[in-house]
Amino acid sequence: MFTGIVGGIAQVVSIDKKKKLHTYTINFPAALLKKLRLGASVSHNGCCLTVKKINRFDITFDIMQITLQHTNLGYLDIGDYINIERSVKYGDEIGGHIVSGHIMNTAEISKILKLDNNYIIWFKINNISLLKYLFYKGFICIDGISLTIVNIVKNEFCVSIIPETLSSTIIGHKKIGELVNIEIDLYTQITVDTTERLLQKNFFLSYK
């Protein structure tokens, strides 16, 4: 479990691409190495991966085919940077919102607006069925960052990025056309799906 508060940025130092499996190694910031153990869960651009090997600052992870298909991790090259968050512990501050690390799909950056002190990014969602979970001022996790939806127009939505997030994550280096990982707020998803089931049930009952 994570919070969407990125703990640091790490660089990809090696990638071993096999059929249906990528094994890659990233250089961890020293601050995120404390008590890191084999089998620990770490968020990579919002995607939960398991520590496979620890060699001082270089940490190795496996990325399975299903993850490569539904996230942007399969597009990584050596030298690229990613957002990293260690899993939350009991007693830690929840500064963002509860995040599972299970990416639902990707979205494409369609527009970037830099207006005075505002940095606004528009995204085109690739899976239209997820639109029903997007709400004005609702939570969303983008590349592991807990953010608030500012506006929704058709199949696009936008978020506003504060200077602290720009300086402590990779979001400010993204370009138009790039893909980002998205995770919908779990509680929003549960509420919407439960409401839909109840409405369908009542509809069928009314016609019996």
pLDDT tens digits, one per residue of 61-106? 999 999 999 999 999 999 999 999 999 877 777 778 889 999 999 9
pLDDT of residue 204: 57
Domain boundary among 52, 86, 120: 86
Give residue-wise pLDDT tens across range 107-146: 999 999 998 878 999 999 988 899 999 999 999 999 999 9
pLDDT of residue 88: 87
pLDDT at 166 over 90: yes
pLDDT at 203 over 60: no
The predicted model scores a pTM of 0.91
Domain boundary among 57, 86, 115: 86
Q: 15 and 59, same structural domain?
A: yes
pLDDT of residue 97: 86
Cα separation, 128 vs 125, in Å, equals 6
Q: At which residue do the structure tokens 């399975």 appear? A: 64
pLDDT at 33 over 80: yes
The confidence band for 205, taking pLDDT boundaries of 50, 70 and 90, is: low
CATH number, position 180:
2.40.30.20
98 in any annotated domain:
no
pLDDT at 55 over 90: yes
Q: Beta strands 81-86 and 139-142: pairing type?
A: unpaired
Per-residue H/E/C for the chain = CECCCCCEEEEEEEEEEECCEEEEEEECCHHHCCCCCCCCEEEECCEEEEEEEEECCEEEEEEEHHHHHHCCHHHCCCCCEEEEEECCCCCCCCCCCCECCCCCEEEEEEEEEEECCEEEEEEEECCHHHHHHCCCCCEEEECCEEEEEEEEECCEEEEEECHHHHHHCCHHHCCCCCEEEEEECHHHHHHHHHHHHHHHHHHHHHCC
- If one compares 16 and 205, the residue with the highest pLDDT of the two is 16
- If one compares 13 and 116, the residue with the highest pLDDT of the two is 13
Write down the mean pLDDT value for the chain: 92
Count structural domains, the chain.
2
Task: Compute the average pLDDT of residues 24-49.
Answer: 95
Q: 186 and 127, same structural domain?
A: yes
Domain boundary among 86, 115, 150: 86
What are the residues whose beta carbons fall under 8 Å from the beta carbon of 172, sequence distance 6 or more? Answer: 119, 161, 166
Q: 189 and 131, same structural domain?
A: yes
Cα separation, 63 vs 39, in Å, equals 14
155 in any annotated domain:
yes
Residue 150: which domain range?
A: 105-193
